[in-house]
Chain A
Amino acid sequence: MGELMIGLYVFVLAVMVGFEVITKVPPTLHTPLMSGANAISGIAVIGALVVAAQAGETTGQVLGVLAIVMAMVNVVGGFMVTDRMLEMFKPGQKK
């Protein structure tokens, strides 16, 4: 079985895990869930680091660094703003 096929298995199973874990999230948390998940999609930074590290010529280096910058904005911004939102969520009986 080739790498592509293994990847496909992993992909499909991970999608199923995603559906299982995320179904039934209360509407109150939809925005933080989305921005948190969004930050996770910044995982592309790993790919960006790999290509930037391997790049010998200029094109590869420029593209690699560009991808790092884009993905890091996504990662850092996404997790921080999610934290900022969740900090505001408070249960009742506070006064």
Chain B
Amino acid sequence: MNPDTLLQLVYLLSATLFVFGLKRLGSPATARQGNRMAALAMLIAIVATLVEQEILNWQLIALGIILGSLAGAIAARTVRMTDMPQMVGIFNGLGGGASGVVAAAEFFRLGGGDLGVEAGITILLSTLIGAVTLSGSFIAFGKLQRFISGAPLTFPFSRTLNAVLFVAILVIAAMQVTGGATVTTYLVLTGLALVLGILLVTPIGGADMPVVISLLNSYSGLAASAAGFVLGNMILIISGALVGAAGLILTNLMCKAMNRSLANVAFGAFGAADSTGGRITPGEGKSVRDVDAEQAAMVLAYAQSVIVVPGYGLAVAQAQHDIRKLSDLLQERGVSVKFAIHPVAGRMPGHMNVLLAEADVPYTQLFDLDEINDEFSTTDVALIVGANDVVNPDARDPSSVIAGMPILDVDRARNVIVMKRSLSPGFAGIDNPLFYLDRTMMFFGDAKGSMVDLVRETKEV
């Protein structure tokens, strides 16, 4: 058989395995197998490519493979689960960036000049998507890692500047395609795309990171597809398209969970706009019921059913192991314990589920918003740990800034215990009427220390 035909058949097999792998990633029982299937597909494609290519410089390629694999393996082994969003962010950037660099290599191989319409469009598109993904992902990483402020950074005319930049990129790209390309204009174009990536992500606030990470994930797939168009390589086009679709689905889900459109996330600068409307003074003129660990433990221990609502504050305090201990203790007493996970409880889609899985909470004990919301009204205690906006009943009020955001209906439970540092508002910058309900008990303190106390007191009940 013609070696190229064989290679194409292997690529087809690999694409099929990617589809099956993704399908299996969709169910907890088969997910691990699905991931391995996708990894196998990647291995097959890489080996087939290496065998088929007439390689001019083996050592360099081997060096690249070894270096990249080592760095990836070390990162994967050592990353803390709380830092997953950052790592996925970096990986998105590297994958998207790699696609851009492939296009650049092809540009220099052709030597610039008149590329022709087809090669011109594909190379430039691939470079642009790759560059935006690369710089955007690094800004997202910086925000998540707190190297740069997580607050939305906006300045006057930032939208206008982005629009001008975008148009400039289009015009220069069009000139390159029609009038012949030079190395200088190509580099200018790449530079502008990198700047655009930075400007697109800086105005987006820390609370919106799940959307950004999902969107960049989608871009990294599209970048791979674009590189596939450059090289006329179907496996790149197919795999990239699959990832692009996955990223878009998650982006859409995250936007729905925050009741905002993608345009609103990208340009809305949530939080920044609210704080200019005058700072609120939480709790002014209203009274709260303050409890200590002992009282909270009594309420929990004598309940029949408890629903725990973990928020990002729990993850920041690394209290997920302690909450599992509490859950075990209560279950030993015969209390039914469930975890209600809001879609944006973490810093990326499904992040909280991973953190609880790390603490050995079985996934059968975790429920998402739609599954559990009806149960609050028949539940004795809703225990809220480090969450705020996602349990704010004001979301039902059409005049609130968070109106329409899907929330967990914790205020319908018979008793509510809120574990929180203070009455300060969450990302949305608004007060939470939940704290002032008669049935609500506030247990102030940092999540870790309070949880340790609560576990100890529950043991002694």
User: Contact at B34–A36, with CB atoms within 8 Å?
Assistant: yes
User: Contact at B227–A53, with CB atoms within 8 Å?
Assistant: no
User: Contact at B224–A14, with CB atoms within 8 Å?
Assistant: no
In chain A, what residue has the closest Cβ to B365? A92
Chain A residues in 8 Å Cβ range of B104: 63
User: Contact at B98–A48, with CB atoms within 8 Å?
Assistant: yes
Interface residues of A in 71-85 (CB under 8 A from B): 71-85
Chain A residues in 8 Å Cβ range of B92: 38, 41
In chain B, what residue has the closest Cβ to A91? B364
In chain B, what residue has the closest Cβ to A73? B72
User: Contact at B249–A22, with CB atoms within 8 Å?
Assistant: yes
In chain A, what residue has the closest Cβ to B238? A14
Interface residues of A in 28-80 (CB under 8 A from B): 28-56, 59-61, 63-80
Chain A residues in 8 Å Cβ range of B118: 2-4
In chain B, what residue has the closest Cβ to A50? B231
Decide yes or no whether B317 CB sits under 8 A from chain A. Answer: no
How many B residues are at the interface, by size bracket? 35 or more
User: Contact at A32–B35, with CB atoms within 8 Å?
Assistant: yes
B85 to chain A: closest CB distance in Å? 8
In chain A, what residue has the closest Cβ to B61? A52
Chain B residues in 8 Å Cβ range of A48: 64, 98, 101-102, 105
User: Contact at A70–B242, with CB atoms within 8 Å?
Assistant: no
Find B250's partner among A33, A67, A88 (CB 8 Å cutoff): A33
User: Contact at A27–B368, with CB atoms within 8 Å?
Assistant: yes
Decide yes or no whether B357 CB sits under 8 A from chain A. Answer: yes
Chain A residues in 8 Å Cβ range of B77: 80, 84
Chain A residues in 8 Å Cβ range of B237: 7, 10-11, 14
Q: Number of A residues whose C-beta is below 8 Å from B?
A: 84
Decide yes or no whether B213 CB sits under 8 A from chain A. Answer: yes
Chain B residues in 8 Å Cβ range of A72: 64-65, 67-69, 71-72
Chain A residues in 8 Å Cβ range of B228: 7, 11, 47
In chain B, what residue has the closest Cβ to A90? B362
User: Contact at B231–A29, with CB atoms within 8 Å?
Assistant: no
Decide yes or no whether B22 CB sits under 8 A from chain A. Answer: yes
User: Contact at B221–A31, with CB atoms within 8 Å?
Assistant: no
Chain B residues in 8 Å Cβ range of A90: 357, 360, 362-363
User: Contact at A85–B357, with CB atoms within 8 Å?
Assistant: yes
Contacts A90-B363, A92-B364 hold; do A53 and B341 have CB atoms under 8 A apart? Answer: no
Q: Which 6 A-B pairs have the closest CB atoms?
A: A72-B68, A18-B245, A30-B350, A77-B72, A68-B64, A76-B72
Q: List 22 A-B contacts (CB under 8 A).
A: A4-B122, A10-B238, A10-B241, A19-B248, A21-B22, A26-B27, A28-B350, A28-B357, A28-B368, A33-B22, A38-B91, A38-B243, A39-B39, A41-B217, A44-B102, A46-B49, A46-B235, A47-B233, A51-B109, A63-B101, A83-B32, A92-B365
